[in-house]
Structure 1
Amino acid sequence: MQHATSGNRPSRIQVRNRARILSAALEVFAAHGFRGATLDQIAEEAGLSKPNILYYFANKEEIHVTLLGRLMETWLAPMHDIDPEGEPLDEILRYVGRKLEMSREYPRESRLFANEILQGAPRMGPHLQSGLKPLVDRTASLFERWMEEGRLARVDPRHLIFSIWATTQHYADFEAQVSVLTEGADSFGGAAQFLDTLYRRMLTP
C-alpha cells in the first residue's frame, strides 16, 4: 500500500488527518503504553476508520516512532539552549523552569517517553545513543567546567541532570497522584518556587 506520507506534497486534508491520528495516538499510548494500545483504539479516538489510519501509517509502531521522534526534538530543545557563556546558576535555573513548564504543557508526551523507557527503550534505543548521549555528555562537561571555575558548587554533573529530569517530569508522569496529594491545588506554582530554592541552595558556591 502506498501511504499518504510518500510521493507528492500532502494536501491540507492529509496534513490535518495525520495530525488527528498523532494526537489520538498520543492519548492512547500515554494511557495504555505501546503494548496495551491498539489501532482500533487510536481510530476510535481520532474519529477515523482503521483503514483510514493505515492509509497514513503502515502500523502501530510507525505511529509510535513518529511520535517519539517529535518528542525527542521537543524534549531536548531546552538543554540545547543552555548558554555556555551565560551565568551558570541562571542558566541551570532557567533550564529547570523550562523542564517544569514542559511537564505542565506536555504531560501526555512525558508519559509516552516514560513508558518507552520503562519497557527498555526498544524503539528509542538508537536515538538515546545518537542524540541524547552526546548532548548530555556535552552538558555535563559544561557543568563540570563551571564547577572547576568555582562558579557552581561541586556536585556530580550527570546526577544533577538526572535529578532535574526526575523532579520536573514527576509532575507529569505522576499527575494523578500529585493531584490527589495536593487536593487539586496548582502544584506547578509551588513546585517552581520549591525547585528554584532547592537548586539555588545546592549549586551556589
Structure 2
Amino acid sequence: MAQGGAATKETGRRVRAVAAKKQAILAAGLEFFSQFGIHGTSIEQVAERAEVSKTNLLYYYPSKEALYVAVLKQILDIWLAPLRAFREDLQPLVAIGEYIRLKLEVSRDYPQASRLFCLEMLQGAPLLKEELTGDLKTLVDEKSAIIAGWVESGKLAAVDPHHLIFMLWATTQHYADFASQVEAVAGSNLQDEAFFRRTVENVQRMIIEGIRVR
C-alpha cells in the first residue's frame, strides 16, 4: 500500500512537472510570436527562454508550426472564456455589461495574447481557420441566438446579434491591440486601475445606451 502511494505521488509529480514545462514553452512562444510573428521566431529562442533543450521542446511540440498553433489555441480559450460565460438567465443589459468588463479584463491581463491573435487574423488566419469555423462559430451562433431572443421579446433594441458581438470585440480588444496608441493619447493604459475602471464604465455606458429599448 505504501509503495503504491509513493508511486502515485511520483506519478503526480511527473505530471505536474510536464505540465509546468509545457506551460513555460507556451509562455515563451507567446512572448516571441507576439513580437516577431512565426517567421521571425526560432525554436532555439523559445527553448532558451523556456529553459528547456531544443530536443525537449520538439518532444512536446514537433515543429514551430505545431507550437504556434498550440499557442493560438490557448489564446482562443482565454479569449472565448467571457463569451462562454454569457448567460441567458441574466437580464440582457446586465449580461452585456458583464461581458464588456470580462473582455476588458482579458485585454488588460493578456495583451500579448490579444496582439498575437490580431496578427493571425490580419494574415488571414491560415493556421487557425479550422478552429474559427468550428468551435468559435458554434459558440457565436449559440450566443447570437440568445441575443436574437432578447430582441424578439422586446428586451433589447433591434440590433443584429453578429454585429453587436463584432462591435464588442473590436471595442474591448482595441485597448490591448493598440495599447501604445491608447497610452500616447490618453496618457494611461489598462494597467492603471483608475483608467481601467473608467474604461469599463464608459464602454459599458456607450454600448448599453445604444442597445437599450427606447
TM-score by length of 2: 0.85
**Cα displacement string for residues 22-65 of structure 1 (whole angstroms, at most 9, x for unaligned residues):** 11111001111222222122123223343332233211111111
Q: What's 1:41 paired with?
A: 45
Is 1:144 the counterpart of 2:152 in the alignment? no
Give, in whole Å, the separation in 1 of the partners of 2:203 and 2:119: 25
Give, in whole Å, the separation in 1 of the partners of 2:140 and 2:52: 40
Give, in whole Å, the separation in 2 of the partners of 1:60 and 1:158: 34
The SS at the match of 1:35 is: coil
Identity of aligned residues (%): 40
The SS at the match of 2:154 is: coil
Q: What's 1:158 paired with?
A: 162
- TM-align CA RMSD: 1.8
CA displacement at 1:177 relative to structure 2: 1.7
CA displacement at 1:101 relative to structure 2: 0.7
Q: Does structure 1 conserve the Cα–Cα contact (< 8 Å) formed by 2:147 and 2:161? A: yes
96, 115, 119: which one pairs with 1:111? Answer: 115
The SS at the match of 1:123 is: coil
CA displacement at 1:133 relative to structure 2: 0.8
Matches within 5 A, 1:111-130: 111-130=115-134
The SS at the match of 1:77 is: helix
Q: What's 2:204 paired with?
A: 196
Give, in whole Å, the separation in 2 of the partners of 1:200 and 1:15: 41
Classify 1:154/1:43 alpha carbon distance in 2 versus 1 (closer, same or farther; 3 Å). Answer: same
**Cα displacement string for residues 118-173 of structure 1 (whole angstroms, at most 9, x for unaligned residues):** 11111110011111111111212211111111101112211110000001011111
Q: What's 1:4 paired with?
A: none
Give, in whole Å, the separation in 2 of the partners of 1:85 and 1:15: 36
Q: What's 1:134 paired with?
A: 138
Deviates more, 1:45-54 or 1:160-169: 45-54
**Where do 5+ consecutive residues of structure 2 fail to align?**
1-10
Amino acid at match of 2:29: A
Q: Does structure 2 conserve the Cα–Cα contact (< 8 Å) formed by 1:89 and 1:204? A: yes
CA displacement at 1:71 relative to structure 2: 2.0
Is 1:91 the counterpart of 2:61 in the alignment? no
Classify 1:148/1:180 alpha carbon distance in 2 versus 1 (closer, same or farther; 3 Å). Answer: same
Q: Does structure 1 conserve the Cα–Cα contact (< 8 Å) formed by 2:96 and 2:208? A: no
Amino acid at match of 2:165: I
Amino acid at match of 2:42: T
Q: Does structure 2 conserve the Cα–Cα contact (< 8 Å) formed by 1:34 and 1:116? A: no
Q: What's 1:17 paired with?
A: 21
CA displacement at 1:188 relative to structure 2: 2.2
TM-score by length of 1: 0.88
**Cα displacement string for residues 166-204 of structure 1 (whole angstroms, at most 9, x for unaligned residues):** 010111111122122222353422211111111221111
Give, in whole Å, the separation in 1 of the partners of 2:201 and 2:89: 25
How many corresponding residue pairs? 198
